[in-house]
């Protein structure tokens, strides 16, 4: 099982770095959002429970989540190309198990997302104090769980699609609203009641909550649930997405 996982994951890395547009798009877009929104809203931003935090610092965890999301999108959309080119069919009829194929795609795409997130995390001292060692390790662990969850969700959406245009439409309808309503752009404490309810059922909210708590510390905005509950929800979200796409891959074509 492991050789198949390793081969598919390595193929994702090679494919990603050979396509420079994917590297630039996955990292440059969130950085651009962070710079434009951070400087533009820094003087007018106020958040309940986080009055001493500027918007550039508040938006930093949201930009991290966006990097993970964009990388997962670019990594999983390749499934559609693999199917149209016949590569996916060849892999599915190989001796490798379907779960090995899924884990290879998840670990490959998730690993790429995690590395890009860590590279962006290095710039956090430019806007806030450098977190402690335990907080940094915790942030990397949370990003790893988010990367796996988002890559799994991207595979769920892309597995049955045969058009990249359809995937982009689904991204605009589902994935980007999930990011906007995760607390990345504005805190749940200042949102209307109906919007706060939507944010409460959004699993991405709890990944952002964990990152904000680790990076901002006591300056983090008020949270919806305790930290331990947010961690359980994030782990459950990642496990559910991997299990879902494994079930999809196990069905006959």
DSSP 129: P
What pTM was computed for the model?
Answer: 0.85
C-alpha–C-alpha distance, residues 52 and 70, integer Å: 30
Residue 138's pLDDT is 92
User: String of b and e for 170-204 (b: at least 16 CB within 10 Å)?
Assistant: ebeeebeebbbbbbbbbbbeeeeeeebeebeebbb
Residue 82's pLDDT is 75
Cα of 34 vs its chain's centroid, Å:
16
Residue 9's pLDDT is 83
Q: DSSP letters of 223-243? A: -SS-HHHHHHHHHHHHHHHHH
Candidates 248, 252, 240; CA nearest to 79 is: 248
Residues 6+ apart with CB under 8 A from 190: 46, 47, 48
Residue 237's pLDDT is 94
Q: Please give the average pLDDT of every successive group of 10 residues along the chain, which has 253 residues.
A: 80 78 70 73 59 76 88 80 72 73 87 88 78 87 94 87 78 85 83 88 92 81 84 94 87 62
Instruction: Evaluate whether 113 touches 150 at the Cβ level (below 8 Å).
Output: yes
18, two tokens: 């050979």
Q: Name the residue ranges covered by the structural domains of the chain.
A: 2-250
Residue 28's pLDDT is 74
């Amino acid at each position: 099982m492991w050789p198949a996982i390793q081969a598919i994951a390595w193929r994702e890395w090679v494919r990603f770095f050979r396509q420079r547009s994917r590297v630039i798009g996955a990292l440059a877009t969130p950085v651009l959002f962070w710079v434009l929104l951070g400087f533009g809203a820094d003087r007018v931003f106020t958040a309940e429970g986080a009055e001493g935090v500027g918007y550039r610092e508040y938006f930093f965890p949201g930009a991290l989540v966006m990097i993970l999301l964009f990388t997962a999108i670019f990594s999983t959309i390749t499934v559609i190309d693999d199917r149209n080119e016949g590569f996916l069919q060849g892999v599915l009829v190989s001796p490798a198990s379907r779960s090995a194929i899924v884990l290879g795609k998840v670990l490959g795409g998730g690993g790429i997302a995690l590395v890009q997130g860590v590279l962006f995390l290095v710039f956090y001292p430019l806007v806030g104090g450098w977190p402690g060692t335990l907080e940094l390790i915790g942030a990397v662990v949370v990003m790893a769980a988010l990367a796996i969850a988002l890559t799994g969700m991207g595979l769920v959406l892309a597995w049955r699609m045969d058009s990249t245009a359809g995937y982009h439409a689904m991204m605009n309808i589902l994935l980007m609203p999930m990011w906007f309503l995760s607390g990345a752009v504005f805190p749940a404490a200042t949102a209307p009641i109906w919007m706060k309810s939507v944010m409460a059922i959004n699993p991405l909210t709890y990944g952002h909550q964990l990152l904000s708590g680790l990076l901002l510390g006591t300056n983090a905005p008020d949270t919806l649930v305790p930290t331990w509950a947010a961690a359980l929800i994030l782990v459950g979200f990642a496990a559910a997405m991997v299990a879902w796409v494994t079930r999809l891959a196990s069905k006959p074509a």
